[in-house]
Amino acid sequence: MTKFDVIIVGAGPAGSACARLLAQAGAKVLLLEKARFPREKSCGGLLSGKTLASIDAPLPDRLVLSKVHGMRMVAEDGKLQAESGHLPGRAVLVDRSQFDWWMVERACQAGAVYRDACEVVRIVNGREMATVYLIGGALVAKWVVGADGAASTVARTVGLRKAWRSWQSGITLCREWQSDTLPADQSGFAEMHAVGIPGALGWCFAWDGGWRIGVGAPAFFKPHLTETLDKLVKKITAMRGSISLLPVKTT
């Protein structure tokens, strides 16, 4: 059985960044992911200036859909509540599927081993090593890092956290469109929209060639999420007048 210094469960940005840093320090690292990368991710894709500063390399131009310098807060009725044209640091809009894959590639370049389509089912702590059980096999390591999200199998199986209650976790729904219409006042701005649900938020990001509109809400609101997103899309298109949107994908 192959032994590793560290096994990291979850190859999102946090897991990949951790894998890269540990591999650079000389550790024998295995990065596990249950999905097949590149994969779609339900996310607005906005990276703050602080996030960009934590990455030890500039983003390739191919990953950047738009540079964002301002933020707007919009009420449920469509009225502008606040606007700032000077975000601290430069934010950017990215495609998460491509950005996440780039982060994995950087971890591998540093020496980490990457395996996808590997679903972790449980972890057993031993005196000196931990055993990570997968569907169809097992691996051992001195340390295990759980970077597998809000529904973390790692946290649950080692007793760090029980299952989330419906009001403790969130869910998102995001749609993307192709469009040749980008209003001048939308360029470089990210919009956050109130959607009339406690703890929920809508967003609208646009770039030269596309629009991305989504909603994030507590998990118990899942049955109504599609309806809420539909209302938000109608509100935004009404605010913007005649914009031409060609549906591309829903995540």
Share of the chain above pLDDT 70, in %: 89
Residue 91's closest CA among 195, 203, 179? 203
Q: What is the pLDDT of residue 56?
A: 83
The total number of residues shown for the chain amounts to: 251
What is the reported pLDDT for 90? Answer: 79
Q: What are the beta bridge partners of residue 72? A: 83, 191
Measuring CA to CA, how many Å separate 238 from each of 48, 86, 92, 169?
28, 27, 26, 31
pLDDT, mean of residues 101-110: 97
Is the CB of residue 138 less than 8 Å from the CB of residue 132?
yes
DSSP letter (8 states) at residue 127: S
Of all helices (H) and strands (E), which one includes residue 247? Answer: strand 246-250
DSSP secondary structure code for residue 2 in this structure: -
Q: Mean of the pLDDT values across residues 171-184?
A: 79
pLDDT at 245: 60
The 10s digit of each residue's pLDDT in 37-74 is: 888 888 889 998 888 888 888 899 999 998 898 888 99
pLDDT of residue 194: 94
Q: Provide the 3-class DSSP secondary structure of residue 232.
A: helix
Give the confidence band of 241 by pLDDT, cuts at 50, 70, 90: low
Domains, the chain, with CATH or none: 3-42+99-157 (3.50.50.60), 67-94+167-250 (3.30.9.10)
What pLDDT is recorded for position 26? 97
- What confidence score (pLDDT) does residue 243 get? 60
- pLDDT of 195 reads 94
Residues 6 or more apart whose Cβ sits within 8 Å of residue 115 = 30, 31, 32, 33
| DSSP strand pairing (246-250 vs 170-178) | antiparallel
Query: Judging by DSSP bridges, how do beta strands 3-9 and 137-146 pair with one another?
Result: parallel
Whether the Cβ atoms of residue 173 and residue 226 lie closer than 8 Å to each other: yes
Q: Which two tokens mark 179?
A: 């469009």
Check: CB of residue 33 under 8 Å from CB of residue 112.
no
What's the rounded mean pLDDT across residues 158-170? 70
The string of pLDDT tens digits covering residues 85-96 is: 766 667 899 999
pLDDT in tens, 3-33: 899 999 999 999 999 999 999 999 999 999 9
Q: What is the DSSP letter of 164?
A: P
Average pLDDT across the chain, whole number: 87
User: What pLDDT shows up at residue 242?
Assistant: 55
